[in-house]
Amino acid sequence: MGTTNNNMTTSLISIIITTKNEAMNIGACIESVKQQTYKNIEVIIVDNNSSDKTKEIAKYYGVTVYDKGPERSAQRNFGAKKAKGEYLLFLDADMILTLQVVEQCIKILEKDGFQALVIPEKSIGTGFWTKCKALERSFYEGVDWIEAARFFDKKAFRDLGGYDEKLTGPEDFDLPQRLKLRFGIDSIGRVSSYIHHNEGILSLKKTLRKKFYYGKKMALYMKKKENKSAVVKQGNIFRRFGLFFAKPAVLFHDPVVGLGMLYMKTLEMVALALGALSSKI
């Protein structure tokens, strides 16, 4: 790792952003990277054959742009192979970093010897279902079987073979669980700075369609031995609702939004289950 005489790190951080038709989001994402208090960063965009102006906008910001498919896991692994940094941060195009995310990540990881870090997320956007999603996400902060690491020591990432390219959706959970098996349960830390996840105007129909699609990969995810203990919790609707009802004042601060969130989450769990069932059929 690189350091200066005043003990400030100079390590290069590679931020890998996967895109497909993200012209509405990619500018804000890259801007948030450019505004980081830590400056030794390279940005790698791995695009999956966008038909809008995603690549043109990214190139306007002077970042490196590649084409790679067919799915997010393959894009991320490709970006990691191209990365020159000692550390890797994986972002989706609809994510916006708060100012000190990278600075906190590199300080904590190098100081405490973690192999990966969780960055908490807050949902932002407009509309009723976006409010429901923001409320749901607020219950997950600090819950280790739901939050997934996205900042990695590159050597550890490569030792694990990167993301499982047979998974899309569950790969976010799969990699950190493999990492814990290899390096120990204390190998993943967390920071306090947030990523803002821009949900835009969230559509219930679109959300359920996405969950159904992710559900098709759940059978593969569940079969892997390293995921067994997490699946018991993640796939249990009662365990999930237990998180919500453990904080009734938060859940029903706005009763309409609280009930809407419970309705949305129930439908999402059903969509995941139907997707998993369809893959078996």
User: How much is the average pLDDT of 13-22?
Assistant: 97
pLDDT over 70 (residue 8): no
pLDDT over 70 (residue 167): yes
User: How much is the average pLDDT of 242-267?
Assistant: 97
pLDDT over 60 (residue 139): yes
Helix (H) or strand (E) holding 176: helix 171-183
Given this model, what pLDDT does residue 6 score? 46
> Tens digit of pLDDT for each residue in 61-96?
999 999 998 989 999 999 999 999 999 999 999 999
CB 13 within 8 A of CB 42: yes
User: How much is the average pLDDT of 244-263?
Assistant: 98
Tokens 């009734």 correspond to: 248
89 or 4: which leads in pLDDT: 89
Q: How far apart are the first and last CA of the chain?
A: 49
| pLDDT category of residue 60 using cuts at 50, 70 and 90 | very high
Highest mean pLDDT among 203-212, 222-231, 237-246, 251-260: 251-260
What gap in Å lies between CA 218 and CA 77, rounded to an integer? Answer: 20
Given this model, what pLDDT does residue 235 score? 78
- 97 phi/psi in degrees, rounded to 5: -80, 135
User: How much is the average pLDDT of 123-131?
Assistant: 96
What gap in Å lies between CA 91 and CA 41, rounded to an integer? Answer: 14
The share of the chain scoring above pLDDT 90, in percent, equals 77
> Tens digit of pLDDT for each residue in 90-114?
999 999 999 999 999 999 999 999 9
CA dist list (Å): 2 to 11, 110, 170, 228:
5, 10, 33, 38
- Choose the weakest-confidence range: 50-54, 59-63, 277-281: 277-281
| pLDDT category of residue 278 using cuts at 50, 70 and 90 | confident
CB 13 within 8 A of CB 85: yes
pLDDT over 60 (residue 3): no
Domain 13-201 in CATH 3.90.550.10? The answer is: yes
pLDDT over 60 (residue 269): yes
Given this model, what pLDDT does residue 217 score? 79
Could you write out the three-class secondary structure of 222-274? Answer: HHCHHHHHHHHHHCCHHHHHHHHHCCHHHHCCCHHHHHHHHHHHHHHHHHHHH
Given this model, what pLDDT does residue 2 score? 55
DSSP string, 22-85: -TTTHHHHHHHHHT-S---EEEEEEE---SSSHHHHHHHTT-EEEE--SSHHHHHHHHHHH--S
Amino acid at 231: V
Given this model, what pLDDT does residue 5 score? 40
Helices 204-215, 128-138: inter-axial angle, 10-degree rounding: 50
User: How much is the average pLDDT of 160-170?
Assistant: 89
Given this model, what pLDDT does residue 4 score? 44
- Choose the weakest-confidence range: 41-45, 197-201, 229-233: 229-233
User: How much is the average pLDDT of 140-152?
Assistant: 93
- Name the average pLDDT for the chain: 92
* Beta bridge mates, 90: 16
CB 57 within 8 A of CB 27: yes
Could you write out the three-class secondary structure of 87-147? Answer: EEEEEECCEEECCCHHHHHHHHHHHHCCCEEECCEEEEEECHHHHHHHHHHHCCCCCCCCC
What gap in Å lies between CA 182 and CA 193, rounded to an integer? Answer: 27
Query: Could you tell me the residue ranges of all domains in the chain?
Result: 13-201
User: How much is the average pLDDT of 135-153?
Assistant: 94
Upper half-sphere CA count for residue 198 (Cβ side, 13 Å):
17
What gap in Å lies between CA 223 and CA 280, rounded to an integer? Answer: 12
What gap in Å lies between CA 233 and CA 231, rounded to an integer? Answer: 5
Rg of the chain (C-alpha set):
19
Given this model, what pLDDT does residue 237 score? 86
